Amino acid sequence: MRDVAVIGVGMQKWGELWTKSIRDVFVESALLAMDDAGVDHIDSMYVGSMSPGIFSSQEHLESVLGDYLGQPHIPATRVESACASGGLAFRLAWMEVASGISDIALAGGVEKMTDISGSDATYALATAADMKWEGISGVTFPGLYAMMAVAHMDRYGTTREQLAHVAVKNHANGSKNPRAQFPFPVTVEQVINSVKVADPLNILDCSPITDGAAAAILVPADQVKNYKRPGVKIIGSGHATDSIALHGRDDLTTIRAAAEAGQRAYEMAGKQPSDIDFAEVHDCFTIAEIVVSEALGFFEPGQGGPAAESGATAMGGKIPINVSGGLKSKGHPVGATGVAQVVESIEQLRGEAGERQVKDARVALTQNMGGSGGSCVVHIMEVM
């Protein structure tokens, strides 16, 4: 297998993009990535999208998007793993370039979520849970993560305030990200007093509904010299699944798919949690970031809450997490999120993150999660 590097990334400002279709949104970010890389064609494309059939009445998306991108006959593939679709598209593009099949692969992700009503969007998202056993009972994602939060609080003493600190930190970071959907700070008091969604989670504990796309260009590491931009090497890739339903798991206070995917990525990269300079993780709800920060080995089980409260995960802390603003502030167009984590990581590792630059960043980790942890994809990237 060949070493693989990222030599271009792109994403537009995310939000409610009502004047644009799903194809417009995707092509906008894909062209930014191709322009960044300095390429006018690609050999193949992987697109992560969770549910374009329900959100946008359009399956067979890769055929639409390849054509609209001006690359009409390439091998193009849509992959889906709920909210981990983008991370999985990135993994498959890595695999294709590593295997020698392609020399220029585009990994993209897109979701256009605001063209249907909020209740329809809630239904669409719920199809990422176990619809036969969870969905049929009426539970949706805030409820599933609320159960995990209650279990974590019960076992470890995690507090309502600690959850709030995750949102406060991510909004503080996102306020410096011009592409974030909600680029403004919030306070602990605002989070705690915001409207209840599923106890103990309030609206400011939840990531939003978003339209957006993101893209990255992957090439063999030994061909980076042929391109205009510095390459960042993909040194670890891990992917794991778990029981989709919470009732099928041994322990609600951790997310095993995140731990397993992380372990596989660390092993491939030859790195440990202490080697990571910053991480973009899947904070679909504040409790998710706390649990994942433990599952990835940044903190001992039960210490994720105190870490968030102490500033250990803030800019300048022991391990800055979600310097982009995370899903919470940047937005969460579900299929695009995993690729957007890569976009932030590459820009940071190239030293181009402006006001939110992590000093001397050389190794980044991205963790993208599907559903309530039924799937997870982790990547580790390093400056070449």
Residues forming the site for a copy of itself (CB under 8 A): 1, 21, 23, 50-51, 53-54, 56-64, 66-67, 72-82, 88, 92, 95-96, 98-101, 124, 127-132, 135, 239-244, 248, 256-257, 260, 370-371, 374-375
Task: Note whether 341 and 87 are within 8 A (CB).
Answer: yes
Cβ at position 65, least distance to a copy of itself in Å: 9
123's CB contacts (< 8 A; 6+ apart) are 54
Q: Choose between 66 and 320: whose C-beta lies nearer to a copy of itself.
A: 66
Q: Choose between 129 and 163: whose C-beta lies nearer to a copy of itself.
A: 129
As a residue count, the chain comes to: 384
Rounded Cα–Cα distance for residues 169 and 164 (Å): 9
Q: Choose between 41 and 196: whose C-beta lies nearer to a copy of itself.
A: 41
307's CB contacts (< 8 A; 6+ apart) are 290, 293, 298, 299, 313, 318
What angle separates helix 337-349 from helix 85-99, to the nearest 10 degrees? 60
- Told to judge if 206 belongs to the known catalytic residues of this protein, a careful annotator would answer no
Cβ at position 381, least distance to a copy of itself in Å: 18
Pull the structure tokens for residue 251: 């322990």
Q: Choose between 104 and 308: whose C-beta lies nearer to a copy of itself.
A: 104
Rounded Cα–Cα distance for residues 280 and 341 (Å): 6
Query: Of 271, 226, 239, 199, which Cα lies nearest the Cα of 91?
Result: 239
Rounded Cα–Cα distance for residues 241 and 256 (Å): 8
Catalytic residue, candidates 83, 206, 284, 376: 83
Q: Choose between 71 and 173: whose C-beta lies nearer to a copy of itself.
A: 71
Q: Is the dihedral of CA 316, 352, 360, 234 positive or negative?
A: positive
Q: Is the dihedral of CA 263, 88, 336, 150 positive or negative?
A: negative
Cβ at position 132, least distance to a copy of itself in Å: 7
Query: Of 346, 332, 295, which Cα lies nearest the Cα of 205?
Result: 332
Cβ at position 376, least distance to a copy of itself in Å: 10
Cβ at position 303, least distance to a copy of itself in Å: 24
Catalytic residue, candidates 152, 282, 332, 379: 332
Q: Choose between 54 and 147: whose C-beta lies nearer to a copy of itself.
A: 54
- What SS3 state is found at 42? coil
Cβ at position 185, least distance to a copy of itself in Å: 33
* H/E element, 365: strand 363-370
Rounded Cα–Cα distance for residues 138 and 134 (Å): 7
Paired strand residues for 238: 378
Cβ at position 148, least distance to a copy of itself in Å: 16
Within 10 A of 154 (CB to CB), how many other CB atoms are there?
11
- Told to judge if 332 belongs to the known catalytic residues of this protein, a careful annotator would answer yes
Q: Choose between 42 and 186: whose C-beta lies nearer to a copy of itself.
A: 42
Active-site annotation, residues: 83, 332
